[in-house]
């Protein structure tokens, strides 16, 4: 094992991080090579800096004018073309944490790692599970989940996906998750929860979130060591008054020394910059020190360095500049309001079909999507809608059909719902 990895492991001894780390996580480190030497030179090389492998002229990145012209002077040359630091632009990491605390008052006064920039949320999940899941480890996953988990968890990590029912009737199935934790092998337990949920569009109510946190904390008190990954891809898209508007990560901050809370989020949906591929990883557990967080961040940086090296410089620069704009929050709120308006119309459109037994809407109160439980084969319905009406939907497990109201113009939502129910009647009553 590399001496730098051993040094980080020594720093982390006796913590939940050390207890949960995979073999890969234990071996990971951030090398004291070109990147660290270049960073040191950036601070001290006042005469010449012959370290970074880019081309420069008069201290600016050499560039092709036709490429730079696409930015229309929005960013300076050195905000576009050089490499970003491995962990991301420091100013962006800082402002993302500030916004995280603003949106999650439960985090106020609590110590977390500084968010690390990843190449989108998929990359964040992949890195986290590389650091904490060994081949054959179990991870608890709701029965309604984003399909990319299969590639990340099952295929790449070769971990064992243990499903539990997300809903009990039309409420969050806290008891079902509790039983799944008790049934898991050993006392090292990983789980991933995604709210607002894809594909259902469900977020726990305030009381459900409180019950969930209480249950997880009780399990930790019993001696279970929990890695709780909060997939917050759609964070902020909350449309009902009783919905919990804080991340589960925030509610678990400093909850117990046996809970390692990990927050994966991204500018992707929160800031409506899908193609930027800017995500973040943030860590917390009660009792961890600044030194512990720094060691874990270095391991995370090592994983990034050995994977994509660093993330997009112009995307980070554009996002940072926008988030500093005085009108930014107001502009963002306007975008969220448009999605909420579509949600309201979707809810209204469904009421005219509430007696139709071919499709039963699953609970939804947030996010981008809603889903139906189908009376018959969902894949057959999907193909019928596509071939007969030119309407695209997503079938899941042959039983559920997902609609994205987020990408349907508000004036088309009622027609979309009517067509889907018409198609279901045609397919399921043959």
Domains of the chain: 3-30+86-323 (3.40.640.10), 329-428 (3.90.1150.10)
- Among 98, 161, 106, residue whose Cα is nearest residue 323: 98
Cβ count within 10 A of residue 393: 20
Q: Are the C-beta atoms of residues 121 and 348 closer than 8 Å to each other?
A: no
Say if pTM beats, i.e. exceeds, 0.75. yes
The angle that helices 313-323 and 90-103 make with each other, rounded to 10 degrees, is 50
More reliable by pLDDT, 246 or 169:
246
Residues 107-147 pLDDT 10s: 999 999 999 999 999 999 999 999 999 999 999 999 999 99
- Average pLDDT, stretch 410-414? 98
**What phi, psi does 270 have (nearest 5°)?**
-60, -40
Determine what percent of the chain is predicted with pLDDT higher than 90. 88
> Dihedral through CA 242, CA 247, CA 252, CA 258, nearest 10?
130
- The residue that leads in pLDDT, 153 or 430, is 153
pLDDT tens digits for range 200-251: 999 999 999 999 999 999 999 999 999 999 999 999 999 999 999 999 999 9
DSSP assignment string, 46-76: SS----SSS-EETTEE---HHHHGGGTTSS-
The continuous run of DSSP H or E covering 394 comes out as strand 394-396
The strands making up 359-361's β-sheet, listed across from edge to edge, are 359-361, 369-374, 400-404, 394-396
- Cα 209 from Cα 55, distance rounded (Å): 52
List the one residue out of 177, 192, 281, 200 whose CA is nearest residue 230. 192
Instruction: Give me the residue label for tokens 């989020």.
Output: 265
pLDDT of res. 115 = 98
pLDDT, position 57: 86
Q: Which helix or strand (DSSP H or E) is residue 248 part of?
A: helix 248-252
Least confident of 25-29, 59-63, 251-255, 265-269: 59-63
pLDDT of 144: 96
Per-residue model confidence (pLDDT) at position 49: 75
Instruction: Report helix, strand or coil for 260.
Output: strand
pLDDT digits (tens, 9 = 90+) for 294-325: 999 999 999 999 999 999 999 999 999 999 99
Q: At 151, is the pLDDT very low, low, confident or very high (cuts 50, 70, 90)?
A: very high
- The confidence score (pLDDT) of residue 430 equals 62
79: nearest Cα among 267, 312, 326: 312
pLDDT digit string, tens, across residues 179-208: 999 999 988 999 999 999 999 999 999 999
Q: What is the mean pLDDT of the chain?
A: 95
Distance CA 205, CA 165 (A): 17
pLDDT of residue 59: 83
pLDDT in tens, 34-62: 666 777 777 787 777 777 788 988 888 99
Alpha helices in 13-120 (DSSP H): 16-20, 23-27, 34-44, 65-68, 90-103
Q: CA-CA distances (angstroms) from residue 70 to 56, 75, 133? A: 20, 10, 42
DSSP 368: S
- pLDDT for res 35: 65
Of 157-166, 361-370, 391-400, give the lowest mean pLDDT range.
Answer: 157-166
Return the pLDDT at 48.
73
Phi, psi of 271 (to 5 degrees): -110, 5
Contact (Cβ atoms closer than 8 angstroms) between residue 299 and residue 28: yes
């Amino acid at each position: 094992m590399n001496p730098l990895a051993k040094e980080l492991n020594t720093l982390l001894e006796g913590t939940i991080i050390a207890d949960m780390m995979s073999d890969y996580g234990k071996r990971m480190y951030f090398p004291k090579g070109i990147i660290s030497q270049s960073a040191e030179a950036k601070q001290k090389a006042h005469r010449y800096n012959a370290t970074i492998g880019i081309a420069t002229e008069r201290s600016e990145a050499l560039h092709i004018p036709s490429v730079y012209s696409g930015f229309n002077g929005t960013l300076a040359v050195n905000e576009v073309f050089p490499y970003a630091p491995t962990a991301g632009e420091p100013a962006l990491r800082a402002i993302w944490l500030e916004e995280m605390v603003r949106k999650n008052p439960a985090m106020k006064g609590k110590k977390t790692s500084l968010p690390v920039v990843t190449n989108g949320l998929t990359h964040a999940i992949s890195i986290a599970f590389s650091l904490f899941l060994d081949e054959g480890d179990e991870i608890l996953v709701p029965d309604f989940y984003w399909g990319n988990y299969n590639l990340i968890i099952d295929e790449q990590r070769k971990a064992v996906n243990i499903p539990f029912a997300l809903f009990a009737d039309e409420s969050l199935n806290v008891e079902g998750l509790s039983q799944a934790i008790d049934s898991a092998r050993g006392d090292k337990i990983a789980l991933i929860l995604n709210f607002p949920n894809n594909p259902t569009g469900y977020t726990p109510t305030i009381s459900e979130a409180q019950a969930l946190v209480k249950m997880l904390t009780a399990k930790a008190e019993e001696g279970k060591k929990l890695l709780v990954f909060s997939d917050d891809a759609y964070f902020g898209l909350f449309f009902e008054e009783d919905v919990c508007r804080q991340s589960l990560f925030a509610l678990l901050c400093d909850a117990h020394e046996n809970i390692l809370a990990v927050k994966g989020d991204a500018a992707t949906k929160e800031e409506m910059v899908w193609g930027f591929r800017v995500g973040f990883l943030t860590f917390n557990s009660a009792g961890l020190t600044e030194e512990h967080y720094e060691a874990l961040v270095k391991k995370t940086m090592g994983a990034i360095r050995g994977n994509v090296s660093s993330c997009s410089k112009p995307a980070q620069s554009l996002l940072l500049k926008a988030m500093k704009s005085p009108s930014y929050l107001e502009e963002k709120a306007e975008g969220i309001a448009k999605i909420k308006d579509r949600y309201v119309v979707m809810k209204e459109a469904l009421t005219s079909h509430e007696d139709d037994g071919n499709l039963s809407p699953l609970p939804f109160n947030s996010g981008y999507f809603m889903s139906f439980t189908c009376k018959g084969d969902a894949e057959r319905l999907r193909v019928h809608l596509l071939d007969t009406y030119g309407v695209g939907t997503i079938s899941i497990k042959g039983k559920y059909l997902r609609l994205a109201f987020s990408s349907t113009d508000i004036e088309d939502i009622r027609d979309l719902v009517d067509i889907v129910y018409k198609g279901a009647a045609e397919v399921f009553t043959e």
